[in-house]
Structure formats: structure tokens, C-alpha cells
Amino acid sequence: MSKHLSIIVGSVLGASEYVAEALEQVAQSAGFTTTLQFEPDLDVLEKKGSWLICTSTHGAGELPQNIQPFAKALEETDLSGIDAWVVGLGDSSYDTFCYGAMEMEKRLTEAGARLTAPPLHIDVLNHPIPEDVAVEWFEQQVKQ
């Protein structure tokens, strides 16, 4: 039986998309089938299995526009069948560092999802190529 991973992307400038694509390759190498959603739609996602949320933070700590409707829809959804990972990209020079990822973590857990590991918050000031850090982290996650 193959494992499936739904990768849900919140992105404004594209960095989260690059990270998500790199993590998709890690997942596939680990035996997962994958679905990558750049315009996440809760209606087409399975409410069981594994999800990976990869999002940046926009403006004053908001989620990117493309993932906001998805995040809102989580408020009325039972995600007790979901195991999730959260990867956030942010800039630590802002006091809203990785607020987008923190918001997704909160919404997932409030809907009953189980976080498989503490979220990964990547500071793009220290890691100008964030996919390198994310790949190293996720390779350890999928080995477990």
C-alpha cells in the first residue's frame, strides 16, 4: 500500500513553491505518492493520510492570499484523520516571523490534525536557499 502526501503551498513570491517542489522529491524518494496544490482546495483533498503545509508569511503576519480560503475552510472541518508537517518561511527581522506557519499549525491542530513533528521555521536571512534546510529536515522526517 502506497502512502500519499498532499503538499499544500501558501506563497506570494515563489520561495515556498520551490521548497514544496524540493520536498515533493524527498517524499517520492521515500515511497510516497504526492499531490502538490498551489491553489489549495479543501474539497479535493483527502481528509485522511499525510499533509505537508509549506507557507510563507505576508504583510503584517498574514497568510499568503492563495492559501487564505483553504485556511478559513479548516475552521469547520474534522481533520482527526490527518498527520501533518508544517514548514514556514520567514524573515527574522520582522516581529511576525513565520506567523503564517504558526497560523496554519493552530488551525490544523484545532481541527484535530496531529502534527508529526514540531514545525520547521526557516529564517531566509540565515538560509538564503531555504529548500536546502527543508530537504535535510524532511529527509529525517520520512525516515521515521
The rounded distance, in Å, linking the Cα atoms of 111 and 82 is 10
Q: Where are the beta strands (DSSP E) in 24-135?
A: 32-37, 48-56, 81-90, 114-115, 120-123
- Quick one: pLDDT at residue 2? 60
- Tally of domains in the chain: 1
The rounded distance, in Å, linking the Cα atoms of 112 and 114 is 6
Per-residue pLDDT tens over the stretch 28-39: 999 999 999 999
The rounded distance, in Å, linking the Cα atoms of 71 and 111 is 11
Report residue 24 as a C-alpha cell: 515533493
- Quick one: pLDDT at residue 1? 47
DSSP assignment letter at 11:
-
CB-side neighbour CA atoms (13 Å) of 59: 5
Compute mean pLDDT per 10 residues along the chain, 144 residues long, and list them: 87 93 97 94 87 94 95 94 96 95 97 96 95 96 85
Residue given cell 527574522 in the structure block: 92
Owning domain of residue 22: 3-143
Question: Which helix H or strand E contains 109, and what residues bound it?
Answer: helix 99-110
Report residue 68 as a C-alpha cell: 487564505
CATH number at 119 reads 3.40.50.360
Cα-Cα-Cα-Cα torsion 55, 21, 121, 91, nearest 10 degrees, comes to -70
The rounded distance, in Å, linking the Cα atoms of 50 and 3 is 8
